[in-house]
Amino acid sequence: MDRPTVTTALLEELAAAQPGHFMRHLRKWPGGALSLVHLQVLFTLDTEGPLPMRHLAEAMDVSQASATGIVDRMEQRGLVERLRDDEDRRVVRVALAAGGRQTLGVMATERRERLTQILDQLTDHELEGLLAGLRGMRRGREALHSQEAAETARAADVGR
């Protein structure tokens, strides 16, 4: 096959993931259903660390009042906790609680187990091809991120 045909076929395969299955799984989560908003909070805090409520609201693209309500519900479930800033007691930071870290850990373990089950269905040749392709995608992604970061830095320099 020619490159455009292969690229189109790959895009179709990558887009064939069924988010509905993932959402059904989240509704049956032990300890209560997880929403996409809850996942966004967990992933954001896992990546960024504890954040002031205002920054968390900005990251979620919601009002601070909405973020407060979301955090209230998540705090009741032991997923996040509020911490007073040591330097400015008026600032409340939201951090992952033990339950949130555990939830992320369970999700990572289940994802890895599920992927192992899927990979077990592939032939050795398919596994080798997939590994080569995924390594190529990682290189491409890293190159794209580097290019975007350089463009952002150039734009910031121009704006000064």
Alpha-carbon span 84 to 80, nearest angstrom: 13
Q: Which two tokens stand for residue 33?
A: 């259903």
- Let me know whether 77 and 128 are in one domain: no
> What CATH number corresponds to the domain at position 53?
1.10.10.10
What's the pTM?
Answer: 0.74
- Let me know whether 81 and 146 are in one domain: no
**Which domain does 143 fall in, by range?**
123-155
Tens digit of pLDDT for each residue in 61-75? 999 999 999 999 999
Tens digit of pLDDT for each residue in 18-36? 677 666 666 666 666 688 8
- Let me know whether 46 and 82 are in one domain: yes
Non-local (6+) Cβ contacts of 48 within 8 A are 55, 59
- Let me know whether 36 and 76 are in one domain: yes
**Overall number of domains in the chain:** 2
How many other C-beta atoms are found inside a 10 Å radius of the C-beta of residue 97? 18
Q: What stretch of H or E contains 96?
A: strand 92-96
* Residue 63, domain member (yes or no): yes
Alpha-carbon span 10 to 25, nearest angstrom: 26
